[in-house]
Amino acid sequence: MAVKAQLTGPLTALQVMQDAPVIPVIVLTDVGQAVAMAKALVAGGIRMLEVTLRTPQALACIAAIARQVPEAVVGAGTLRSAADAKSAAAAGARFAVSPGYTKALGQACRDLGLPLLPGVATGSEIMMAQEDGLNHLKFFPAMQAGGPAMLKAWSGPFGDVRFCPTGGVSSDNAAQFLALPNVVCVGGSWLTPLDAMAQGDWTRIEKLAQQASILATVA
């Protein structure tokens, strides 16, 4: 597998989305696992890593990856406030993902230089994000909110918007999303299964990343 050039400096949301077909959505409860997991994903061809702020250990895990795995690009997910954005940036996050969108969160991310993929599930939410200059969005929760059919419907009125569907996306249906012209990548948790994490099965996680990294060529 070709080694990707290291990304330095500020990123754009499009760069984050275009780097690989899948952005892993990661829940970490053990800082001791963070670095080994990140190295396994990178070895498999996936380096944009969304560590969700769903556990007390999340920020420490982001910091550990940012410090010890420079070839990875670690981001923070589940941001819900400006305070979340500030904490994530301070920990070393280089991009942000949120389940929804507010102007306060958008402004905080702009001030911090964090590219933001905000979650949207309706046309009104897309329009609110676009008012603030955001055209690269997370479709969430993707399957529950209409799946590929909804994205096809949005391609007419929102032809200038590109999406990262997340929520109910799996190895079984990812190719259906990636085949859509308005989808750049997908987000999913299947690259870091709980049992593999608990067992420290980094070889399995690397293989899952390898499979995910070629999804676009299959779609």
Pairing label, strands 22-26, 162-165? unpaired
> pLDDT tens string for the chain (219 positions)?
556 777 777 899 999 999 999 999 999 999 999 999 999 999 999 999 999 999 999 999 999 999 999 999 999 999 999 999 999 999 999 999 999 999 999 999 999 999 999 999 999 999 999 999 999 999 999 999 999 999 999 999 999 999 999 999 999 999 999 999 999 999 999 999 999 999 999 999 999 999 999 996 554
Q: Output 88-93 pairs: Cβ under 8 A, ≥24 positions apart.
A: 88/53, 88/59, 88/62, 88/114, 89/113, 89/114, 91/59, 91/60, 91/62, 91/63, 91/66, 92/62, 92/63, 92/65, 92/66, 92/67, 93/51, 93/62, 93/66
Catalytic residues: 50, 138
CATH number for the region 13-214 comes to 3.20.20.70
What are the structural domain ranges in the chain?
Answer: 13-214
Q: How far is CA 210 from CA 1, 12, 22, 135, 178, in A?
A: 9, 24, 11, 29, 16
165 and 139 Cβ atoms separated by less than 8 Å: yes
Burial code (b: 16+ CB inside 10 Å, e: under 16) for 189-204 equals: bbbbeeebbeeeebeb
- The pTM assigned to this predicted structure is 0.95
